[in-house]
Chain A
Amino acid sequence: GNSVTQMEGPVTLSEEAFLTINCTYTATGYPSLFWYVQYPGEGLQLLLKATKADDKGSNKGFEATYRKETTSFHLEKGSVQVSDSAVYFCALPVSGSARQLTFGSGTQLTVLP
């Protein structure tokens, strides 16, 4: 079935540093791919998504490109801020389901001032 492997953390960066969080997937076909973010004490919220190969999702300065050649969907941001400190989850639909998601293990990001 569909699965996702996510870069293990934690990741600690200084403010304005470049961020990459790796995510690779195994899937039947070309399902939509997602990044969710969990800020401290809160539930998950959708950060960005890409619905087909070569699409780029973007939001709040974060970007991720759906690359079928490398089965990857890496999350990037050019200049992180302290407020970006959170846990980031890569996700895709469960095989045969359009609504159930399978999540990566999450990557804790801490940005220091």
Chain B
Amino acid sequence: NAGVTQTPKFQVLKTGQSMTLQCAQDMNHEYMSWYRQDPGMGLRLIHYSVGAGITDQGEVPNGYNVSRSTTEDFPLRLLSAAPSQTSVYFCASSYGRGYAEAFFGQGTRLTVV
């Protein structure tokens, strides 16, 4: 029952460093997405993918890159970390057709100092 697995759970970066947040799902879901959660702002969509090889921007894509080389994996890259990227990041996946329940990972708490 792995579902959606995110690593790491916690990370501290210095300003300007880069890193990749990993996300993997074992449910053969076509649709995957990354959100950030900030106090009082709910979840905001960063990037999403409707299938392997296809990605698109969400509401707040600046400073982040994604790729989708396989159905299972959807890593999120921070190119040059900034304090404004301090947040909790969630990866989610769902089936491809119509609306289907989104399954979320446990989140990565990132602090940029």
Which A residues contact B (CB, under 8 angstroms)?
6, 32, 41-46, 49, 89, 93-94, 98-106
Contact = CB atoms under 8 A, between A and B. Distances in A.
Given A45-B104, A93-B99, A99-B98, 18 more contacts: A41-B106, A42-B107, A43-B6, A43-B92, A43-B105, A43-B107, A44-B102, A44-B104, A45-B103, A46-B101, A49-B101, A89-B42, A99-B94, A99-B99, A100-B48, A101-B43, A101-B45, A105-B42
Contacts of B90: 43-44
Interface residues of B, number: 26
Contacts of A100: 33, 45, 48, 58
Contacts of A32: 99
B42 A42 contact: no
B4 interface: yes
Interface of B: 4, 6, 31, 33, 40-43, 45, 48, 50, 58, 90, 92, 94, 96, 98-107
A104 B45 CA distance: 12
A67 B104 CA distance: 27
A98 B99 contact: yes
Given A93-B99, A98-B98, A100-B48, A43 B43 contact: no
